[in-house]
Chain A
């Protein structure tokens, strides 16, 4: 017994404490996240310059930059971007408004819940893009149709998230509100709304992503304008550079909209910042 205890003591000098081997990942590399994409672009450039990569498969990076500038100069790209943005923005606005109002009606009253929630849950099971054939019969293939498809998608997401947030208020806070004698209006304003805000923002961020997804699908099946149309035409003429320009624009849409929402969310949920440090 004593021997067992003595042996490790003999191995470790008493003066210097043994430093344990670190098993975690350690410090992150500064700007490390940019390294991967930079390498990909470098490899792509080399492949294009040496002729390994056929421009019919994928144009060279500089061709794409050049095409981007050209399309901007002749007004094609700004026009398409504007058309696409308008569709997405209108669809998002109507959808988010409708979804939030429905969630309020359903989340704040049992009658509303009885009327609305079951209906939306049924709708939830049907993918919004699956409604396209029916909506084309009703609305044609014009702008209205596109905006409605996006709005329906957004409304469903916003409803589900906001309703869950409104009804998921911690019961301890409900008990507190009763104990301090809040009126129903005070309770909704000071407990339910602020408590549901994180869920509402989660809904917004999911909805923004979904609106771009719907937009891409809509613009590739039956559009005569917009970014998707630009890409569809480019496909017919084998212009990979135009297609990649379109993809970059879609990527920027997604990135910028999410970043903007994050800024708004950070401000609205200032009390949460302290939690994450």
Chain B
């Protein structure tokens, strides 16, 4: 068994004069739930896109070792409005496992619905099911709960935790929410000046410390 799910070495990404990622190293173990924090514009999404192989026409260098079974969850559920829920889940994979995946996210019976007929939370569940059917060894999630209301977000946290415990993919969860990072992850990273500036086990991570690393001074 591989000792890592992802290995990033010396990753550099540059937009015009600005260096977004600067010689970044990162290794994620199989099944490890990692949360990536960072200020807006710090390059969180740039890193995620680089690992997902979704960055075209960029200037940069570095080595990436990424498993073939990768699933990406976006901030918007990104369902194709003209495909029914089941077809959205099975997009790009051989049909068959979609129903089971929908059942796992609690949407049994909605296979024939159009995405527009679902609530925001339900749409994000479908997006999770779409990740599940790929049986990913690595799940990349770019603020997947950012657009949800607080109550729905709590439910989605539980669902994600449950699914990850069952399927054990390595996870890289990009978020701007310190509490979400501490609650969900095994390990918390903070992106600072183009590198992993802080790398802590979640149970050691201290909210105040993380917030100050994100540049938010908390008055003592």
Contacts and interface: CB of A to CB of B under 8 A. Distances in A.
B91 interface: yes
A182 interface: yes
B74 A176 contact: yes
Interface stretch (B17-25, B80-88, B100-108, B182-190): B80-88
B72 interface: yes
A276 to B, nearest CB: 10
B76 A271 contact: no
Given A172-B74, A180-B130, A191 B80 contact: yes
B92 interface: yes
Contact of B72 (A179, A186, A194): A179
A87 to B, nearest CB: 35
A179 B54 contact: yes
A175, A176, A178: residue with the most chain B Cβ atoms closer than 10 Å: A176
A61 B100 CA distance: 67
A180 B71 CA distance: 7
A181 B90 CA distance: 12
B183 to A, nearest CB: 26
| Interface residues on chain B, size class | 20 to 34
Contacts of A186: 92
A31 B119 CA distance: 35
Contacts of A182: 91-92
Contacts of A197: 82
Contacts of B74: 172, 175-176
A190 B91 contact: yes
Interface in A175-227: 175-182, 186, 190-191, 194-195, 197
A197 B186 CA distance: 45
A271 B116 contact: yes
A198 to B, nearest CB: 9
Nearest to A270: B114
Contacts of B80: 173, 176, 190-191, 194-195
Contacts of A191: 80
Interface of B: 52-54, 71-72, 74, 76, 78, 80-83, 91-93, 114-117, 130, 134
27 contacts: A172-B74, A172-B76, A172-B78, A175-B54, A175-B74, A176-B80, A177-B92, A178-B53, A179-B52, A179-B71, A179-B72, A180-B91, A180-B130, A190-B80, A190-B83, A195-B82, A271-B81, A271-B82, A271-B83, A271-B114, A271-B115, A272-B81, A274-B114, A274-B116, A274-B117, A275-B81, A275-B116
